[in-house]
Structure 1
Amino acid sequence: MRVAIAGAGAVGRSIAAELVGSEHQVMLIEREAANFEPHTVEQAEWVLADACELSSLEEAGIQLCDVVIAATGDDKVNLVVSLLAKTEFAVKRVVARVNNPSNEWLFNEAWGVDVAVSTPRVLAAMVEEAVSVGGLVQLLTLRQGQANLVEMTLPEDTPWAGKPVRDIDLPRDAALVTVLRGGRVIVPQPDDALEAGDELLFVASANVEGDIRKALGSG
């Protein structure tokens, strides 16, 4: 997979290093000479250019990328990069960093954003997930809010201990995708028995999250 990252600050470089480590082709686009440090991620292609300029993106070959990540520290820049990538170059997947939570509402399909990542929101969800048992926690928003990745940890006194996955009466627009148990990642099968302490990960529409709570007895 070929990925372009706009912004080679600490966040952009970290993302690039992770993707390179997974054997993806990565291009970092940076407009500030002070942040142009190819030695920090040597396996990536580096381009000194303004990602908000159409000609710069075209010269960099962004039209050949499968994914564009707008990872600068400026929300306005990230929105412009996302819009250009989607509308001018038809990039299949656009991921954008949200720096200011108050701007999160702008990061949607109208601006070319497929996935918006708000660091404060993600951190808050991680904290909530770590301390919440028996409640449903939203971890990530997918497809401009059309669906969410949500988690529930079964408490020690759960009535679901020993019961099979098939007994969970999930609503139509929800799916149990993974069960985390200790150090294991389990792809749930209908006959698999649940255990206290299991972390259940669901992909679900926001409007059925209440039904998931009811199905698992957490009201």
Structure 2
Amino acid sequence: MRVAIAGAGNVGRSIARELIANGHQILLIDRDPNAIKPESVPEAEWLLADACELASLEEASFETCDVAIAATGDDKSNLVHSLLAKTEFGVPRTVGRVNHPSNEWMFDDLWGVDVAVSTPRLMCALVEEAVTVGDLVRLFSFRGGHANLVEMTLPDGSPRVGTRVADLNLPGDAVLVTIIRDGAARAPERDAALEGSDELLFVADPSYEAELAQYLVPRSMRTTAEIG
């Protein structure tokens, strides 16, 4: 894939290295001459330009990009870049970095953002995921599809312990995507039975999250594990 990254700071360069290692073509864009450091990611294409200007994106042939990542330290710039990439060039997938949690509500499809990545929210979710048992924790939101990636560590007393995956009657359009057991992720095979302490990852519509939590663990059973 050809991936454009607006913002060639530490975050942008780190993303570029990871994607290059996975075989993708990377374009790094920044308007600050001090940020243009081709020697730091020599495999990438570099462009000194304003990623919020239409002419700059035309110069970069944005219509050939598969993904546009807005990774600057400025939320306004990230929103404008995402909107231009989506509406003017039809980039199939846009990812926007949220620097300030109070601005997260704007990072949606109205601004051309398919996926919003908020570091503070993600860190909070990971902390909750690490210390809670029997509570549904939202890990990630897929803006384009209006769905969330949610997790629950199944307590030993859950009525779903021992239930085959094929027999789960999940509410709405919730889908079990993986089971993490003994530190290893495994596909949810139809005949596999759920066990206590399984970490279950679902993709679910936000409107069904409460019902999903109730189905897996009745409210009276939910506990919060202590940090030892």
TM range (shorter): over 0.9
Separation in structure 2 between the aligned mates of residue 173 and residue 165 of structure 1, nearest angstrom: 15
Contact persistence 2:158–2:216 (CA under 8 A): no
Q: How much does 1:157 deviate?
A: 3.6
Q: Which structure 2 residue ranges, 5 or more long, are not aligned?
A: 220-228
Structure 2 residue identity aligned to 1:66: D
Q: Does 1:31 align with 2:34?
A: no
CA distance in 1, matches of 2:182, 2:10: 32
Q: Secondary structure in 2 aligned to 1:40?
A: coil
TM-score, with length taken from structure 2? 0.92
Alignment correspondent of 2:13: 13
**In the alignment, which residue of structure 2 is the partner of 1:56?**
56
Distance 2:218 2:130 in 1: 17
Give, in whole Å, the separation in 2 of the partners of 1:40 and 1:103: 31
Q: 8 Å contact 1:168–1:215 — kept in the other structure?
A: no
Structure 1: state its 5+ residue gaps.
none
Match for residue 177 of structure 1?
177
Q: Which amino acid aligns with 1:201?
A: L
Q: Is the 8 A contact 2:94 2:112 kept in 1?
A: yes
Between the aligned partners of 2:46 and 2:173, the Cα distance in structure 1 is: 42
Deviation at 1:119, TM superposition (A): 0.8
SS at match of 1:179: strand
Distance in 2 (alpha carbons) for counterparts of 1:133 and 1:19 = 34
Per-residue deviation, residues 84-109 of structure 1 (Å, max 9, x unmatched): 10111010001000101111111111
Q: Which moved more, 1:158-167 or 1:13-22?
A: 158-167
Q: Which position in structure 2 is the counterpart of 1:81?
A: 81
Q: CA deviation at 1:145?
A: 7.1
Question: Against the structure 1 CA distance between its residues 122 and 145, is the aligned structure 2 distance closer, same or farther, given a 3 Å change threshold?
Answer: farther
What pairs with 1:190-201 in structure 2 (closer than 5 Å)?
190-201=190-201
Q: CA shift at 1:120, angstroms? A: 0.6
Deviates more, 1:144-153 or 1:25-34: 144-153
Give the drift of 1:156: 3.5
Counterpart position of 1:102: 102
Mean Cα displacement is larger for which, 145-154 or 13-22?
145-154
Determine the structure 2 residue equivalent to 1:118. 118
Matched residue of 2:97: which SS?
A: strand
Question: CA-to-partner distance for each residue in 1:56-103, whole Å, 9 max, x for gaps?
Answer: 111111110000000000001001101110111010001000101111
Q: For residue 224 of structure 2, what is the aligned residue in structure 1?
A: none
Report the secondary structure of 1:80's partner residue.
Answer: helix
Match of 2:148 in 1: 148
Inter-partner Cα distance in structure 2 for 1:157 and 1:105 = 37
The TM-score, its normalising length taken from structure 1, stands at 0.96
Instruction: Report SS of the residue matched to 1:41.
Output: coil
Aligned residues: 219
Q: Which residue of 1 aligns with 2:160?
A: 160
CA distance in 2 between partners of 1:141 and 1:23 (Å): 26
Whether the 8 Å CA contact 1:168–1:216 is kept in 2: the answer is no
- Tell me the amino acid that sits aligned with residue 10 of structure 1: N
Displacement of 1:144 after TM fit? 4.7
Q: Which segment drifts farther, 184-193 or 116-125?
A: 184-193
Note if 1:93 corresponds to 2:86. Answer: no
1:153 is displaced (CA, Å) by 0.5
| Whole-angstrom distance in 2 between the partners of 1:28 and 1:93 | 16
Identity %: 61
In the other structure, the counterpart of 2:22 is 22
